Amino acid sequence: MSMPTILVTGGAGFIGSCFVRQELARSESRVVTLDNLTYAGNLDSLAGVLDDPRHTFVEGDIADATLVGRLLAEHQPWAVVNFAAETHVDRSIDSPEPFIATNVVGAFRLLEAARRHWAGLAPSGRAAFRLLHVSTDEVFGALGAGASGFSETSPYAPNSPYAASKAAADHFARAYFRTYGLPVLVTNCANNYGPRQFPEKLIPLMIQSALGGHPLPVYGDGRQTRDWLFVEDHARAVRRVLEAGTPGEVYNVGANCRRSNLDVVRAVCRTVDELCPDLPQRPCESLIQLVEDRPGHDRDYSIDAAKISRELGWSPREDFESGLRKTVRWYLDHQDWVGRVTDGTYRLQRLGLGKLP
């Protein structure tokens, strides 16, 4: 128990599992992972570290205040990193309530449990403790004409139920610092991509559809622009903010890799064509289809990451081309993982039910 410990919520998800693997590989810390294992939480994403003696996995909900309080008391972490969230915009449009339950109520209960735990620590423990809440650039809404990127002081203007739920959590995080002094840090990140991302997201969806020769649907005219951040770079940024960030501060994390959705899909197609020269549907760009735009679709996001670079010395290591190539290569090499995710096997096997009929 003398070993420093971090509690990672949502640690079986895409970004959280990347952070867990990095933390165990690059530090001497113990990691306690709490995850509710909803559809996007996957123990396969923690393969290789589940049996690490420094890693403890707990299935549970951040909204379960009793469970969170027990974990804090038992493991005495010096830091809590909150990745737990419902994240898919389309799902939030179809059914907003789960986003309120996890992203708002869950985040509030986590903050409250952390506050109670922190208040009971000795002065040295209170001084060392940190809670880092991971958020998104979508809380800022659409980037205005002529703006170069969202800064940490950009006004909030969420345009989807998902973005609104994350904005609410950000406000609670700020309030818990201002009102109670809880040493909270907030990061707002650009669009993430990389290995182990759930296949409903744009890049893995396009990879899998291209491999299968299926249509590649792109919303509207495809000119919606996003800043793309490789997940390994994001995990490093979170760790850097945790180590050296100032409590109460917000740090935007982006890679200055602005691409339109259509350009991203075309880049995926070119990479798949290159790495899979025998595909009968090559060139995969012929599979692209523009479809009706979704409601409330923001036109342009971009992150100004000057603050984290200037104050904490963080910068991305991957550009979009190198990160995308690593991503496509990973999916090509891990079709078994994709199959288990897309057919639900990973969830049924956890319950001892075998494969979907």
From the candidates 44, 61, 137, 233, which is the catalytic residue? 137
Other CB atoms within a 10 A radius of the CB of residue 320 amount to 21
From the candidates 138, 232, 233, 304, which is the catalytic residue? 138
SS3 83: coil
Give rounded-to-5 percent helix, strand, coil for the chain. Answer: 45, 15, 35
> Could you read off the pLDDT tens digit of each residue along the chain, which spans 357 residues?
468 999 999 999 999 999 999 999 999 999 999 999 987 788 989 989 999 999 999 999 999 999 999 999 999 999 999 999 998 888 899 999 999 999 999 999 999 999 999 999 999 999 999 999 999 999 999 887 667 899 999 999 999 999 999 999 999 999 999 999 999 999 999 999 999 998 888 999 999 999 999 999 999 999 999 999 999 999 999 999 999 999 999 999 999 999 999 999 999 999 999 999 999 999 999 999 999 998 878 788 889 999 999 999 999 999 999 999 999 999 999 999 998 887 754 443 433 333 322
Element housing 6 (H / E): strand 5-9
Q: Torsions phi, psi of 279, nearest 5?
A: -65, 130
From the candidates 162, 193, 251, 301, which is the catalytic residue? 162
Question: Secondary structure of 215-242 in the HEC alphabet?
Answer: CEEEECCCCCEEEEEEHHHHHHHHHHHH
Residue type, 215: P
Residue 162 annotated in active site: yes
Kindly report the pTM of this predicted structure: 0.92
Residue 137 annotated in active site: yes
SS3 154: coil
Q: Which of 101, 109, 102 is CA-nearest to residue 84?
A: 102
Length of the chain: 357
Residue ranges and CATH numbers for the domains of the chain are 5-196+228-257+300-319 (3.40.50.720)
